[in-house]
Chain A
Amino acid sequence: MGESMKAGLKKMHGRIRDKLLEKLFYSPRKQVAFTYDLAPLGPHLMWLYVPEKGIYLGRDDYDREVYLNPAQLRVFHGVIIGPSGAGKSLFLKHFLYQIPNLKVNFMIIDPHSDYSVLIRKLGGEVIDIRKTMFKTTNIFRNIESRELFIKAVAALYRLTEGQELSLREAIKRSKDFSQVLSNLPPVLRSKLEYPFSFLTNGEVDLKDLLDEKIPFSVDLSSMRRERPVLDEAASVIARLAIDEVLGYYWKKPRMHRLRFLIVADEYHNILAKPIDVVERILRETRKIGVYMVVASQDVDKFSESYFTQVGFIIALTLSEGQVEELRALTKKNITDADELFITTAPPMEEFFPTKALLLVHYHKKAIRVRLDISEEVLEY
């Protein structure tokens, strides 16, 4: 039998077979159904999506593990809100403890020396500004940084226009803060001597830490013991540390992926007033892969635009009023069940965060998380 005949027979067989199969193969009868008959099979049967990797937070209502995955967030800027006693510091430790797993470096502005042990445990450097100080170079090179710094100092120390001008001239003519101090007029020098004196003996080069990807904390606790007068000085130093980090990364190739995280505890005391440095960071630093997570006690310390720019919000135990504010500011669908969940805490022997509401930009509603703080963190 020739090849062509074989092929022809095969083709014919195929045609007949396909027709036979189409006609003779059994199909179950269709059933009559109405819309509500199929209601339990609608798309809502899916549970709210939660990422499966990243920073582990705890378990949701359905007992699934909840993670915060930087790769799935538009930006990794975040806000952690929790009133005094809600376990904010412990939660932040739990959060920081997992950052090295993401293979990114971080720094923390630490107003109470809460994180020093943890930072050392993670192989990082604690910059206690009473003992050592980081070198400040960026504001002497970068005009924008200098202007922002002058504005902040002027607002913090209520400088007159003339004093602001003198400060600008002094910085322009100097290469470090000891020169700035000597170039300042005597009245202004006495006013700024306290914060600037910390900056004159910079020993730690942040560039080295950033190059070697060593996490570090800027420990402001020794200054803040003299509260309330010295919050301004702490604010100046925190701003300079952030500025140094940003200056370093602006020189690097552009990258949106998270590569450095700035974490600031007590945002409302250190960075929010009088000029909010964070809002600028939220808007601009995505290009360089530097993101910022701030922790604060109150919802009303943040503006509405703040909430539109962050990728996630974690609210620890809140009051009814705070929930209302959060609802209004974030425009998220925080239900009555969410409110009940977050405003009540089970009785406990020690302050320990057990619940959190996680708001992420890709969900309209909140994810209720039963926090699962790692036992290792409790030791630090």
Chain B
Amino acid sequence: MRRELKIAVILLILSYFSNSIRTYGYEISVFLLVLAYIVSFKPVFSMLCEALWGIPLNSSWKTGSWKLYRKIGKKYEVAALLKVENIQWSTEDYTPSKFASVIKAVMEKILKLNPVILIKKESELNYYIFIRRRGKKLIDLDRDIEASVRFLLNSAGRTGIDLEVCDPKEFFSLFNLTEKKIDRENLALIIVLDFFSILAAICTKGYLQVVGILLTILFTLSLFCFYRGKELNEKYYYADAVEVGEIADTDIQDFSELVSNIINTEENAKIVIEVEKASTRIEAELERKAAKKYFAATTFDWLGTLVSSFKILERARRRRERKEFVYLIRLYTTSERIKEALEGYGFSFIRLPLKAPVLKAFYG
């Protein structure tokens, strides 16, 4: 999101100044303006909708005895929520090398199922694993989710983690959601802005008219999409880069202990991890990316890019040597201390002005 908005601002500045170019200046500036608009449309539209109507949550989940069901168009989705009841070992119980191998086995078993993980600390710490399957045949999905849950219960049990299947009703109380009350002042402001942008689109010409048209589309669409949304009073940080380089077993154990200490001592904290298993070809892509960056860095003598290229190469090598699986993840946290700890490990975080992506991971 930060990247999109940064690019949009740069394009807007360029668009404004390119207006003064004599030949094709107007065309270039309009082109850059539209480009900036396209790049920033989704984040801005989402922020506007969330501010006006709240978080869109069209959750039509139905509960079974322990499974959750819903129908999306012609497809079905079946899900189950599991919770860690007890663990028989913790970070300090092993030597670093043993810990590294045990945690690798545990995580790979869990992450294999493309889960959404919620680590929630309120009066007590809860570790939820949410798994879902989507497809056309409900009976196959049912069987698939049962097999996945059985696999998870058995494999976690063998590694000293006692999991239990949660009551599906618990799924709806994972987040403290409230009904969003529509802020009349905000709504009035958007209506007025929309009115002026329509006026600008009709009554003006040139650059300002284009701005008016673009803003009219944005404001009208966000007003058109009215819905009864939810509200979540939490600030989220989002991991917008994972640059964990070469790590020793002791680092893994130390950081695990640090995160464990923080989450257990925080009064209120949440970590949400949306995981999807990725192709191992990503390693080759990483190497290509490192090569590109290295080329750019040496051509223009940019030290930062050079360091970044080495880091990427280091990661690719680490994956190959340690035989790690590759995942595509979205990681959110509400805790500033967790954010700082993970930044020390190699993650980089930004504030997420939206809350919808977090809830979409579960309910969407």
Binding site for A on B (CB under 8 A): 1, 41-43, 45-46, 49, 56, 58, 84-93, 100, 103-104, 106-108, 110-111, 117, 119, 124-125, 127, 156, 160-161, 221, 224-227, 238-242, 244, 247, 252, 255-256, 258-261, 263-264, 271, 273-276, 278, 282, 286, 315, 318-319, 322, 324-331, 341-342, 345-347, 352, 354, 356-357, 360
The reply to whether B88 and A46 form a contact with Cβ atoms under 8 Å apart is no
A28 proximal to B (CB < 8 A): yes
Q: Which residue of A lies closest to B350 (CB)?
A: A28
- Contacts beyond the supplied A26-B354, A33-B242, A365-B89: 7 A-B pairs with Cβ under 8 Å: A28-B1, A31-B240, A32-B328, A33-B326, A34-B315, A34-B325, A39-B107
B358–chain A nearest beta-carbon distance, Å: 10
What are some 25 contacts across the A-B interface (CB < 8 A)? A26-B45, A28-B330, A28-B357, A31-B239, A31-B328, A32-B242, A32-B327, A34-B315, A34-B318, A34-B322, A34-B324, A35-B327, A36-B324, A37-B346, A40-B252, A40-B255, A40-B260, A40-B342, A41-B117, A42-B106, A46-B125, A47-B264, A48-B90, A362-B86, A363-B86
Given A31-B239, A37-B346, A62-B264, do A46 and B328 touch, yes or no (CB 8 Å)? no
Chain A 324-358 interface residues, beta-carbon cutoff 8 Å to B: 333, 335, 337
* Cross-chain contact of B88 among A18, A21, A24, A363 (Cβ < 8 A): A363
Instruction: Kindly list chain A residues whose C-beta atoms are within 8 Å of the C-beta of B89.
Output: 44, 333, 364-365
- Tell me the complex Cα distance, A45–B120, Å: 12
Which residue of chain A lies nearest to B3 when distances are taken between CB atoms in the complex?
A: A29
Q: Considering the chains assembled together, what is the distance between the CA atoms of A221 and B322 in angstroms?
A: 66
> Could you tell me the distance between the alpha carbons of A20 and B45 in the complex, rounded to whole angstroms?
11
Are A44 and B260 in contact, with the CB atoms below 8 A?
Answer: yes
Residues in A neighbouring B160, C-beta threshold 8 A:
364
Whether A28 lies near B278 (C-beta < 8 A) is no
Minimum-distance CB pairs A-B, first 8: A30-B328, A364-B88, A34-B324, A45-B260, A26-B46, A35-B324, A26-B42, A40-B259
Please indicate the chain B residues that have their CB under 8 angstroms from the CB of A52 in the complex: 124
Q: Give the distance in Å from the alpha carbon of A27 to the alpha carbon of B329 in the complex.
A: 12
The residue of chain B having its C-beta at the shortest distance from the C-beta of A16 within the complex is B224
Tell me which residues across on chain B come within 8 A of A42, comparing CB atoms: 103, 106-107, 110, 256
**Which residues on A sit within 8 Å (CB–CB) of B104?**
35-36, 39
Q: In the complex the two chains form, is A49's CB within 8 Å of B106's CB? A: no
Closest to B160 in A: A364
| Chain B residue nearest to A31 in the complex (CB) | B242
Q: A17 at the A/B interface (Cβ < 8 Å)?
A: yes
Contact between B91 and A44, CB atoms less than 8 A apart: yes
Query: Would you call the interface of chain A mostly helix, strand, loop, or mixed?
Result: mixed
Tell me if A43 is interfacial: C-beta within 8 Å of chain B.
yes
Instruction: Decide: A47 near B328, CB < 8 A? Known: A31-B239, A36-B247.
Output: no
**Contact partners of B252 in chain A: CB under 8 A:** 36, 39-40
Instruction: Please give the number of chain A residues whose Cβ is less than 8 angstroms from any Cβ of chain B in the complex.
Output: 39
Chain A positions within 8 Å of B357 at CB level: 26-28
B227 touches A38 (CB 8 A): no
Residue of chain A at shortest CB distance from B58: A18
Residues of B contacting A363 with CB < 8 Å?
A: 86, 88
Q: How far is the CA of A27 from the CA of B276 in the complex (A)?
A: 15
Contacts of A37 in B (CB 8 A): 242, 244, 345-347
CB–CB B259/A43 < 8 A? no
Q: Chain A: which residue is nearest B255 at the CB level?
A: A40
Contacts of A365 in B (CB 8 A): 88-89, 93
Contact B127 A43 (CB under 8 A): yes
Residue of A nearest to B325 (CB): A35
Interface positions of A (Cβ within 8 A of B): 17-18, 20-21, 24-49, 52, 62, 333, 335, 337, 362-365
Contacts of A35 in B (CB 8 A): 104, 107-108, 111, 322, 324-325, 327
Q: Is the CB of A32 within 8 A of B88?
A: no
The smallest C-beta distance from A66 to any residue of chain B, in angstroms, reads: 14
Q: Which residues of chain A have C-beta atoms less than 8 A from B107's C-beta?
A: 35, 38-39, 42
Interfacial chain A residues near B352, Cβ < 8 Å: 28
Query: Does the CB pair A43–B106 fall under 8 Å?
Result: yes
What B residues does A32 contact at CB under 8 A? 242, 278, 282, 286, 326-329
- Min CB distance B55 to A, Å, is 10
Docked pose: A324 CA to B56 CA in angstroms: 59
Asked, given contacts A26-B357, A364-B160, whether A41 binds B273 with beta carbons under 8 Å apart, the answer is yes
Instruction: State the CA gap A306–B36 with chains docked (Å).
Output: 75
A46 to B226, CA, bound (A): 41
Q: For the complex, give the distance between the alpha carbons of A45 and B319 in Å.
A: 23
User: Which of these, B49, B84, B255, contacts A46 with CB under 8 Å?
Assistant: B84
A247 to chain B, nearest CB (A): 38
> Are B224 and A17 in touch, CB under 8 angstroms?
yes
A31 and B225: CB pair below 8 A? no
User: Which single member of B103, B117, B225, B247 contacts A44 (CB below 8 Å)?
Assistant: B103
Q: Please pick, from A26, A30, A362, the residue contacting B329 in the complex, using a CB distance under 8 A.
A: A30
What is the minimal beta-carbon distance from A357 to any residue of chain B, in angstroms?
Answer: 14
In the bound complex, residues from chain A placing their C-beta under 8 Å from that of B346 are 37
Decide: A43 and B87 in contact? CB cutoff 8 A: yes
Find the residue from B238, B260, B315 having the highest chain A CB count within 10 A: B260
Report yes or no: B91 in contact with A26, Cβ–Cβ below 8 A.
no
Say yes or no: B259 contacts A27, CB within 8 Å: no
CA distance A26 to B258 in the complex (A): 32
Task: Please name all residues of chain B whose beta carbon is closer than 8 Å to the beta carbon of A25 when the two chains form the complex.
Answer: 42, 45-46, 49, 56, 356, 360
**Contact B324–A21 (Cβ < 8 Å):** no
Q: How far apart are B278's CB and chain A's nearest CB, in angstroms?
A: 7
In the assembled complex, the CB of B335 is this many whole angstroms from the nearest CB of chain A, namely: 12
Interchain nearest-CB distance for A313 vs B (Å): 16
Cβ of B125 and Cβ of A24 under 8 Å apart? no
Q: How far is the CB of B114 from chain A (nearest CB, A)?
A: 12
Contact with B319, one of A34, A48, A364 (Cβ below 8 angstroms): A34
Q: Are B90 and A337 in contact (CB under 8 A)?
A: no
Contact B258 A46 (CB under 8 A): no
Contact B238 A24 (CB under 8 A): no
Considering the complex, give the chain A residue whose CB is closest to the CB of B353: A26
Which of A49, A62, A337 sits near B86, CB closer than 8 Å? A49
A29 to B238: give the CA distance in the assembly, Å. 10
Cβ–Cβ < 8 Å partners of A47 in chain B: 90, 125, 260, 264
The reply to whether B256 and A45 form a contact with Cβ atoms under 8 Å apart is yes
Q: Quick one: closest A residue to B285, CB to CB?
A: A32
Find the residue from B87, B108, B244 having the highest chain A CB count within 10 A. B87
A30 x B273 contact (CB < 8 A): no
Interface contact A24-B86, CB-CB below 8 Å: no
Contact residue among A38, A45, A46, A362 (Cβ-Cβ distance under 8 Å from B327)? A38
A41 CA / B247 CA spacing, docked (Å): 16
A176 to B258, CA, bound (A): 68
Given contacts A43-B106, A44-B106, contact A28 B240 (CB under 8 A): yes
Tell whether, in the assembled complex, residue B244 and residue A24 are in contact, meaning their CB atoms are under 8 Å apart. no
